Chain A
Amino acid sequence: DTAVSQTPKYLVTQMGNDKSIKCEQNLGHDTMYWYKQDSKKFLKIMFSYNNKELIINETVPNRFSPKSPDKAHLNLHINSLELGDSAVYFCASSQGHEQYFGPGTRLTVT
């Protein structure tokens, strides 16, 4: 059973398009996250939700909008994609000292 799953695994799209990445966890964790890992491998937190409530909203362009329909899901919608959005996006969930990452979504904007 996959603990944290993301779809799609790869996403290639053109500048200006709108795309979504979906994340689901089956661990019963209360907290979920989105991270961006750029080509320099820095893992930057973007958003965090606890029980569907937004608790961390880092300085990211407002083209990025998270949505948590329930505790087990956290989706990321990106409007008007730019070249600089190319990165690997990781979803994660945590409870106490447990944290698990999804496999990542490699987004390439051309």
Chain B
Amino acid sequence: QKEVEQNSGPLSVPEGAIASLNCTYSDRGSQSFFWYRQYSGKSPELIMFIYSNGDKEDGRFTAQLNKASQYVSLLIRDSQPSDSATYLCAVNDMRFGAGTRLTVKP
């Protein structure tokens, strides 16, 4: 059974801090990895994808992939209250982890 694991949280950080979200996966053959944000009552929306080992930066967001250790993480720099949401990790065929709920406190 292919598994995607995330800490359910909640994770709380002060405004301006770095939020770090982690995800591990069981299928070594996984090639593509995605991070989604879901606001309460809304649909998930794609914020980043990563295919290669290393870091990928997009504005305040950085995705980090380590295939040897089978984990992918998302860093949010200068966290804002508007970043408060549930963050979902997905691999390959769009199987999702349980999500991590992030709260950014003003």
Interface size class on chain B is 10 to 19
Does A107 lie at the interface of the complex (its beta carbon under 8 Å from any beta carbon of B)? Answer: no
Q: Decide if the interface of chain A is mainly helix, strand, loop or mixed.
A: strand
Interface string of B38-63 (1 = CB under 8 A from A): 10000111100101000000000000
Does B21 lie at the interface of the complex (its beta carbon under 8 Å from any beta carbon of A)? Answer: no
Contact of A41 among B32, B45, B93, B99 (CB under 8 A): B99
Does A78 lie at the interface of the complex (its beta carbon under 8 Å from any beta carbon of B)? Answer: no
- B40 CB, min distance to chain A CBs, angstroms: 9
- Would you give 28 A-B contacts (Cβ < 8 Å), ordered by A? A33-B94, A35-B96, A40-B98, A41-B86, A41-B99, A42-B98, A42-B99, A43-B88, A43-B96, A43-B99, A45-B94, A45-B96, A48-B93, A56-B93, A90-B43, A90-B44, A92-B94, A94-B94, A97-B32, A97-B46, A98-B46, A99-B34, A99-B94, A100-B46, A101-B44, A101-B45, A103-B43, A104-B43
B-side residues, CB < 8 A to A, are: 32, 34, 38, 43-46, 49, 51, 86, 88, 93-96, 98-99
Q: Which 4 pairs, one residue from A and one from B, show the smallest C-beta to C-beta distance?
A: A101-B43, A97-B49, A43-B96, A42-B98
A-side residues, CB < 8 A to B, are: 33, 35, 40-45, 48, 55-56, 90, 92, 94, 97-104
